[in-house]
Amino acid sequence: MKKIIKLISFAILMMSIATSQSLGQEHNHKHNTDIKSGEISSKKIMQYDKNKDGKVYQCPMHKNQISDKESNCQECGMKMAEVSINVKDRGLMKNGQMMNLKEAKAHKEQIAAAKKNFIVRKGVIDVEAIDENGDGKVFQDQMDWNVISDEAGECPVCGMNLKEVSIKDAINKLKENGYKVK
């Protein structure tokens, strides 16, 4: 009796696997796009930009659902997200997919914040290397001496405006305040 139950369970399992594979293949044949793991290449997305305005709309859940105009996904009804396909934005990819404009903006803001915090120097500070434009001057905070940039701006630590100083003056202030200089 136990053998029969195991045999029937095994048969049911095999039938359900075969059915799910069959349905999965049928689902993939419905789409006329090159789908690889649910993703579509940026070149393929560009083909949907019929009005050549540099953007299309794509469902965040169903990447194969793309439209040239703002609409809802035909599979789930979710509002499609705007996706830029401009050449300058083409590098904004995440997991092989172009980011929508909201994601791209957040990504650019994260990069800007990281660059802003990058001017807080740690370890041995090479002031001459900071002078990228080679004018012999840098911008240094007058409270947080290790905050140095080649461009004007604000200190991310205290919020003060950076003051333009010569490389020699920047090095002297760093040494006076216990920082190691190259």
pLDDT of residue 95: 54
pLDDT of residue 50: 78
Picking from 176, 171, 164, 180, the residue whose alpha carbon sits closest to that of residue 128 is 171
Q: Which residues, at least 6 apart from 181, have a Cβ–Cβ distance to it below 8 Å?
A: 124, 125, 126, 127, 171, 174, 175
Picking from 171, 141, 135, 170, the residue whose alpha carbon sits closest to that of residue 154 is 141
DSSP 133: T
Picking from 33, 39, 53, the residue whose alpha carbon sits closest to that of residue 101 is 53
Tens digit of each residue's pLDDT, the chain (182 residues): 777 777 777 767 677 676 655 554 444 433 333 333 344 555 666 677 777 777 788 887 777 788 888 888 888 888 888 776 654 444 455 555 566 667 777 767 776 666 666 788 989 999 999 998 999 999 999 999 999 999 998 888 888 999 999 999 999 999 999 999 98
Picking from 80, 96, 91, the residue whose alpha carbon sits closest to that of residue 39 is 96
In a 13 Å sphere around the CA of 134, the CA atoms on its Cβ side amount to 0
pLDDT of residue 171: 96
CA distance linking residue 93 with residue 88, whole number of Å: 12
